[in-house]
């Protein structure tokens, strides 16, 4: 039985997945990290957990976080981010500009690739950088 919580694709397998396929996986990974982060804070009601999660996962917030971690990305990570940022998406949500949506898709693509490559420690490092007040 495959353990989908602990996957480790090869780089070749990850590169065979479309940009938007990686973004789809990364969206789920990113949202789970956000929900876990908020639950770990321990001071949220269920209503506030949902509201605060929505605030963290919306494209404009993801775009800010993408800019925040960009200087810390390796060349390979930057390539994954660029793949997602340049993906041909059909529409951006009303709450985001096309540029914000592109950065958010880049961030999700990066997170999807890192997850599938089994690089959980690196995912955690980048996520903690995003949540850090002074980074």
Cβ distance 118 to 9 under 8 Å? yes
Tokens of 92: 């951006």
Tokens of 131: 């949540």
Q: 6, 27, 67, 134: which is the annotated catalytic residue?
A: 27
- Is residue 105 left, alpha or beta, with left meaning phi > 0 and alpha meaning psi from -120 to 50? alpha
79 as an active site residue: the answer is no
> Could you give the residue numbers annotated as active site?
27
């Amino acid at each position: 039985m495959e353990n989908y919580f602990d996957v480790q694709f090869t780089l070749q397998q990850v590169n065979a997945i479309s940009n938007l396929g990686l973004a789809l996986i990364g969206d789920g990974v990113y949202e789970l990290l956000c929900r876990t982060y908020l639950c770990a804070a321990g001071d949220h009601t269920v209503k506030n957990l949902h509201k605060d999660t929505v605030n963290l996962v919306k494209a404009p917030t993801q775009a800010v976080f993408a800019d925040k971690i960009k200087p810390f990305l390796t060349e390979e990570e930057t390539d994954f981010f660029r793949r997602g940022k340049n993906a041909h998406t059909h529409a951006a949500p009303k709450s985001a500009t096309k540029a914000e949506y592109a950065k958010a898709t880049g961030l999700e693509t990066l997170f999807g690739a890192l997850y599938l490559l089994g690089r959980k420690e690196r995912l955690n490092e980048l996520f903690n950088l995003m949540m850090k007040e002074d980074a």
